[in-house]
Amino acid sequence: MNYGTPRRVAVVAANRIPFVRSNTAYFELSNQTMLTDTLSGLVQKCNLQGELLGEVVGGAVMKHARDWNLVRESVLGCGLHPNTPAYDVQQACGTGLEAAILVANKIALGQIDAGIACGTDTTSDAPIAVSRGMQRALMAMNAARTRGGKFKASLGLVKPAHLIPELPVNTEPRTGKSMGQHAQLTAHRYGITREEQDKLALHSHLNLAKAYDEGFFDDLLMPYHGVHRDNNLRPDSTIEKLSKLSPAFDRKEGTITAANASPLTDGASAVLLASEEWAQKKGLPVLAYLTAGEVAAVDFIDEREGLLMGGAYAIPRLLHKRGIALQDFDFYEIHEAFSAVVLCTLAAWESADFCRTKLGLANPLGSIDRTKLNVKGGSIATGHPFAATGCRIVATLAKILNEAGGGRGLISICAAGGQAVTAIMEK
């Protein structure tokens, strides 16, 4: 599968629309619309009109049946050459980063020279299904060959119980618990305090606000439907304001609130990856290199491990394969699904018991310099359109490394099903 010597994979450009809270500015928009427009913005930015790329890879977590070929349809409407192949992937919140790794691997192996990773999600246009009884009655009616058969099947449509729709739920199928409930249990296990979580959330808002004020996102984000900034951003946040919110998942002893958790969000993002030679021919800059990736999954049934703790396992594997330490990074991008998840992950790496019993290490991985963590804001302030978060983080870290003139960055994104997708970027 390898065509010659493995090549370095460059992040050369990115585009996203502002992320907005569910049921606000993008209330009437679909995944298809947002992704197509985001890809169109990237095509225009990089002068790729009519360009035949190796492939475009991405997806969405909350998908309608009509979205079965989402990325390919978006490619056909974005200005790229219509012969550009595209396909959907879905790994919950890790979708965008997994898409980037898939594209990067093909570039590294010489199979393609350039490709786009992307992701989109909307909870404002979440799929609402008919009941199982209604679905079976409709299918039987469609399959019936005679009028009498269709009439008989249609009788099932008028049963009152069948008229109740099935609304989407944010729960794990095997446990019935929401992500927030799982995260709260893990926070209790690791002894993460409300104050610690609120402090991390505050830094997320302040760092994002500062980045906007400095113009950091001017060339990474395009204004869209009258929105110029992520509308979940609260630049006037204070610890006092955050501390007033009630616990969301454990009313008596809970520490997770709406303020220290990422909100339901709509948005889309895309990243252009390429070989150095292709980027040079197109006159595009090399912002950074995507140099390694790792995935992991944990057994979270019966709380054997926290649902969102996959990164605590994936990152050590990544470090071992590269022969580097946790402290050998200039920047850390750890997805803020909840403040508690970030803090539990850091606590696990600092724990001698966790590293010995769970990772088989003689010594703990140790702590990181918190001033290097999510320096341009994280998902709590930015918002979290599930499949779009990975490419947002890749783009942000690539620009951070480029502006710094070099360095190494670590990405960790937790995902539903006890999974995590992680990566290393360098310049």
Q: What is the pLDDT of residue 156?
A: 65
Phi, then psi, of 250 in degrees rounded to 5: -150, 95
Q: What is the pLDDT of residue 133?
A: 77
Q: What is the pLDDT of residue 221?
A: 98
Q: What is the pLDDT of residue 141?
A: 78
Per-residue pLDDT of the chain (427 residues; tens, 9 = 90+): 788 889 999 999 999 999 999 999 999 999 999 999 999 999 999 999 999 999 999 999 999 989 999 999 999 999 999 999 999 999 999 999 999 999 999 999 999 999 999 999 999 998 877 777 777 877 887 888 888 888 777 776 667 777 677 767 778 999 999 999 999 999 999 999 999 999 999 999 999 999 999 999 999 999 999 999 999 999 999 999 999 999 999 999 999 999 999 999 999 999 999 999 999 999 999 999 999 999 999 999 988 899 999 999 999 999 999 999 999 999 999 999 999 999 999 999 999 999 999 999 999 999 999 999 999 999 999 999 999 999 999 999 999 999 999 999 999 999 999 999 999 999 9
**Annotated catalytic residue 384:** yes
pTM: predicted TM-score of the whole model, two decimal places: 0.94
Distance CA 375, CA 392 (A): 14
**Annotated catalytic residue 93:** yes
Q: What is the pLDDT of residue 76?
A: 98
**Annotated catalytic residue 414:** yes
Q: What is the pLDDT of residue 159?
A: 74
Q: What is the pLDDT of residue 237?
A: 96
Check if the beta carbon of residue 409 is closer than 8 Å to that of residue 312: no
Phi, then psi, of 112 in degrees rounded to 5: -140, 165
Dihedral Cα 50, 110, 322, 304, nearest 10 deg: 70
For the chain, helix (H) and strand (E) counts, in that order, are 14, 10
R_g (Cα) of the chain, nearest Å: 22
Q: Which of 78, 93, 118, 344 is catalytic?
A: 93
Q: How far lies 271's CA from each of 3, 190, 196, 388, 395, in Å? A: 24, 35, 33, 10, 7
Q: Give the sign of the dihedral formed by CA 159, CA 165, CA 171, CA 172.
A: positive
- Where in the chain are the domains? 179-215+292-422
Query: Who's near 257: CB < 8 A, 6+ residues apart?
Result: 194, 197, 198, 242, 245, 246, 247, 248
Phi, then psi, of 245 in degrees rounded to 5: -75, 145
**C-beta atoms surrounding 46 within 10 Å:** 21
Q: What is the pLDDT of residue 157?
A: 67
Size of the chain in residues = 427
Q: Which of 182, 355, 384, 391 is catalytic?
A: 384
Q: What is the pLDDT of residue 124?
A: 94
CATH number of this structure's domain 179-215+292-422 = 3.40.47.10
